[in-house]
Amino acid sequence: MQLTLYTNPLSRGRIARWMLEEVGQPYEVENLAFGATMKAAAYTAVNPMGKVPALAHGDVVITETPAIIAYLADAFPAAGLAPPPSDTLRGAYYRWLFFAAGPLETAVLNRNLGVTVSAAQTAMAGYGSVDLVMDVTEAAITKHPFILGATFSAADVYLGSQIGFGLQFGWIEKRAAFVAYWDRLKDRPALLRAAALDDALAAT
**57-72 residue pLDDT tens:** 999 999 999 999 999 9
pLDDT at 125: 80
189 preceded by a cis bond (ω within 30 of 0): no
Neighbour tally for 85: CB within 10 Å: 7
pTM (2 d.p.): 0.95
24 in Cβ contact with 193 (< 8 Å): no
Q: 134-174 pLDDT, tens per residue? A: 999 999 999 999 999 999 999 999 999 999 999 999 999 99
In the chain, what are the domains? 3-80+190-203 (3.40.30.10), 90-188 (1.20.1050.10)
Q: 176-188 pLDDT, tens per residue? A: 999 999 999 999 9
pLDDT at 126: 83
Q: Look at residue 75 and tell me whether its pLDDT is greater than 90.
A: yes
Task: Give the C-alpha separation, 82 to 29, whole Å.
Answer: 24
Give 61's strand partners: 56
pLDDT at 157: 98
Helix H or strand E encompassing 154? helix 154-169
